[in-house]
Amino acid sequence: MTIIEFLEARIAEDEEAARAAAWQDCGWEARGDSVCETLSFGADCIARCDESEEAAHIARHDPARVLAECAAKRRILAMADGSADFQKAMPRPGYAQPFHSPSIDILMMTARLLASVYADHPDYWQEWAA
């Protein structure tokens, strides 16, 4: 598995979780730094808002924002994946890393930094550590 394939799989998992959390109709929504839970009473939805520090954290990780972050990460990966030099420079366990250009170094470091968020995942390679 390459670092690009690893990241694409983790992004897909993040997207799936965000879509599952983005309820329709009644549910919850982020409003500024608060989270409003919408409770269902028959055909009506009634909102109850929480403005605690925990709610502010939840609001900052609203499913819409997570999906936007996933789209941005996919654009970054597309730049790296389109580079044949990047593909040749990918770290692989047990192999010496070839010399490559500064632009490839930037793409490699970017991919490594993106992957570092998932360092506790069983498919993460320590060779990717930034």
Residue 44, pLDDT above cutoff 70:
no
At residue 25 the predicted structure's pLDDT band, cuts being 50, 70 and 90, is low
pLDDT in tens, 14-23: 999 888 776 5
Rounded CA-CA distance 97/80 in Å is 17
Q: Which residues contact 116 (CB under 8 A, 6 or more apart)?
A: 128, 129, 130
pLDDT in tens, 73-91: 998 888 776 666 565 555 5
Residue 117, pLDDT above cutoff 90:
yes
Q: Which residues contact 31 (CB under 8 A, 6 or more apart)?
A: 49, 59
Burial of 111 (0-12, 13-18, 19+ CB in 10 A): buried
Beta bridge partners of 30: 35
